[in-house]
Structure 1
């Protein structure tokens, strides 16, 4: 019994161990067929065998999703049925035959018209191939029937895989098409740790435009910090001087004086917000998202998460669940300081605010994927697993954080008392309204990250692997500094307009 069969007999899927395999000569190597879909839309994928491809004669090996991230990302590994053994060359061999009736021909023609590509895996190394091509007139369609595999090995590990599609056959109804493959093994000097380097695109991600965008954002941060510091220090110095002069007046002169500015709302600025429950939940969720972003980026910088399928998503879900006490602590303590009494309701809203938004959107899209039989459709069992994580992991940890926040920092510690009667808010210009400031205040933070978002979404929608997490960390730091500066300025403007609303 081979190493692979021993693992299977123990109840493990072969794919769970592919990325740590050290093969012996003649040991079985599994070729997994993943998905097929149009080249110009990477997110539209279907099972490989949703097209009428045939399976090799070798007995199928059952596969179970290795991680939650794999299931959520629509990984659909199915055994190809091809007989491949380590260091064992295979000459061109026919492994199955397609009986091309009218329906199957139409399926292949549709795939070729839409430039369908398919993805395979050998030892966790992805391989892409094209289904077929049309002639110049678009009248005749041809299917690639010969998979020519060239596999590189270093000692007892697989370090490189290349696929060449050959054997172009015209699609003619009511004919038989023979599918064949060959395997050639070659020795390689590539180290096992560096085998994913060929999939990276330094010319794109480390382009000078990327460096210039980071430098531009950094210079904007320096300019913004200096500008905010200079304006606030000069303005606040004048305010302090004016208020110090007013304090030397007697009560009659002070009452007759023209009082305005941020100091006039000191008795109202710590008044509870109009919707403390939602406000506290948003603050707690924001703190948790920041913690998750920071931890996941640091982990991605230390570990090459892109080398394992679904590892980034699995890590993000685990970190989000583990940082739930952060949400409960900051949200619960703020709600308690604002005098909130329905803390259990606040805890539920804070715990499920982000998961409900994300899962609600994902499940809605999932119904569309199920309707079109796409591989992106999330299995029902995975939905149940996500719901169990929310109820049995995130909610209890959020409860722990809420209790700690209420007990440790839930007592009001404001530097001044709150007036019993709210101060009327004077009329102000339209651009000083909170809703306008919220919209305008987001321009600078977005401007500091939009170039990086372009690279991130390019890797998401195109066939590229994002790996420059050092850039992402720099952009996160820049975003935090810009957000802090913009928040200080916007808060000062509102307080100076005697608008004390949160």
Structure 2
């Protein structure tokens, strides 16, 4: 259930980022930071059908029965994480009497968007996904009795594969992260959205390729528990981005004090959570297609 919700949310975030970047490229979006954040929030609500559809179909194909609980988890998990971080930062801003505090009216509008647009769309997507793509369609017969997994070398363990899986995807966006952080924290205008689209597409391709390689090594070691490993190996990209943010904070910025530090790492954590879920979902979907492909023509005893 939890994996289905994460994959659904990550797929929605990927579509959301593509949509916002395209809007910025065609000139329909003012490049100011406030306008982009507002567009992200509105488009997140409008694209919620995607997360419900992907999550509902995946949960049903894996034999899940409690689809209502899965739907609620899909609709509320990422907004709840962002709200928790935002609430903590807003409390700090109010304590310091800073203008960075989010007005109460803005929070009400965001809740209305979630309750009356995002949540119903997730519900609709879940119902459609369960009925249109929820039937099990395994490429070969699956044994009901789990086979014991043999011992393997340390570098073929899921934990090592998960940690190593994020290195290459992070390398593909390393340079772009500098410009994104500079634009957001040093108040520079970011306008090369065409290059950002190219980097984002490269990130998706590299993430899928690296995750497929990790899944192949896992299956070759006779370990069939590839689902969570494929997700975590791609999601670990966010871990390296967060480590880079620590370096950027100490070397490239002049921030100091509890207020600035908390806001920097709080919003960076929010960004990395979204990036990790996005990459994890893309990696899982790529590995799923790979596994289905290699097992399609296998005759099982």
Q: TM-score, normalised by structure 1?
A: 0.44
Once the 2 structures are TM-superposed, how far is the Cα of residue 306 of structure 1 from its aligned partner? 3.9
State the match for 1:140 in structure 2: none
| C-alpha separation in 1, matches of 2:7 and 2:28 | 32
2:207 is the counterpart of 1:483:
yes
Contact 2:24 2:31 in 1 (8 A): no
- Equivalences for residues 267-282 of structure 1 within 5 A: 277-282=1-6
Distance 1:322-1:302 versus aligned 2 partners, 3 A rule? same
How big is each residue's C-alpha offset from its partner over 1:441-493, in whole Å with a ceiling of 9 and x where there is no partner?
A: 00000010011011011011113111110110010111011011101101100
The structure with more helix, counted as a fraction of residues: 2
* SS in structure 2 of the partner of residue 310 of structure 1: helix
Once the 2 structures are TM-superposed, how far is the Cα of residue 308 of structure 1 from its aligned partner? 5.2
Contact 2:25 2:194 in 1 (8 A): yes
State the match for 1:464 in structure 2: 188
Aligned residue-pair number: 226
* SS in structure 1 of the partner of residue 207 of structure 2: helix
State the match for 1:389 in structure 2: 113
| C-alpha separation in 1, matches of 2:126 and 2:29 | 32
* Greater Cα radius of gyration, structure 1 or 2: 1
RMSD (Å) for aligned C-alpha atoms = 1.2
Distance 1:416-1:483 versus aligned 2 partners, 3 A rule? same
State the match for 2:63 in structure 1: 339
State the match for 1:259 in structure 2: none
- Equivalences for residues 425-440 of structure 1 within 5 A: 425-440=149-164
The structure with more strand, counted as a fraction of residues: 1
Distance 1:375-1:292 versus aligned 2 partners, 3 A rule? same
State the match for 1:403 in structure 2: 127
How big is each residue's C-alpha offset from its partner over 1:65-87, in whole Å with a ceiling of 9 and x where there is no partner?
A: xxxxxxxxxxxxxxxxxxxxxxx
Once the 2 structures are TM-superposed, how far is the Cα of residue 310 of structure 1 from its aligned partner? 2.1
Q: Find 2:23's aligned residue among 299, 311, 318.
A: 299
| C-alpha separation in 1, matches of 2:32 and 2:189 | 12
- Equivalences for residues 202-281 of structure 1 within 5 A: 277-281=1-5
2:122 is the counterpart of 1:416:
no
Structure 2: which 5+ runs fail to align? Answer: 228-301
Structure 1: which 5+ runs fail to align? Answer: 1-276
Once the 2 structures are TM-superposed, how far is the Cα of residue 304 of structure 1 from its aligned partner? 6.0
2:254 is the counterpart of 1:499:
no
Contact 1:278 1:346 in 2 (8 A): yes
- Equivalences for residues 33-182 of structure 1 within 5 A: none
Once the 2 structures are TM-superposed, how far is the Cα of residue 305 of structure 1 from its aligned partner? 3.1
Contact 1:441 1:490 in 2 (8 A): yes
Once the 2 structures are TM-superposed, how far is the Cα of residue 377 of structure 1 from its aligned partner? 0.4
| C-alpha separation in 1, matches of 2:104 and 2:38 | 18
Contact 1:296 1:315 in 2 (8 A): yes
| C-alpha separation in 2, matches of 1:284 and 1:424 | 30
Q: Find 2:103's aligned residue among 367, 379, 403.
A: 379
* SS in structure 2 of the partner of residue 305 of structure 1: coil
| C-alpha separation in 2, matches of 1:416 and 1:323 | 34
2:75 is the counterpart of 1:351:
yes
State the match for 1:290 in structure 2: 14
Once the 2 structures are TM-superposed, how far is the Cα of residue 311 of structure 1 from its aligned partner? 1.5
| C-alpha separation in 2, matches of 1:316 and 1:374 | 24
Q: Find 1:329's aligned residue among 53, 74, 97.
A: 53
> 1 or 2 for the larger relative contact order (CA 8 Å, sep ≥6)?
2
* SS in structure 2 of the partner of residue 336 of structure 1: helix
| C-alpha separation in 1, matches of 2:77 and 2:121 | 15
Contact 2:149 2:222 in 1 (8 A): yes
| C-alpha separation in 1, matches of 2:198 and 2:207 | 14
State the match for 2:235 in structure 1: none
Contact 2:165 2:210 in 1 (8 A): yes
Once the 2 structures are TM-superposed, how far is the Cα of residue 384 of structure 1 from its aligned partner? 1.9
Q: TM-score, normalised by structure 2?
A: 0.73
Contact 2:180 2:190 in 1 (8 A): yes
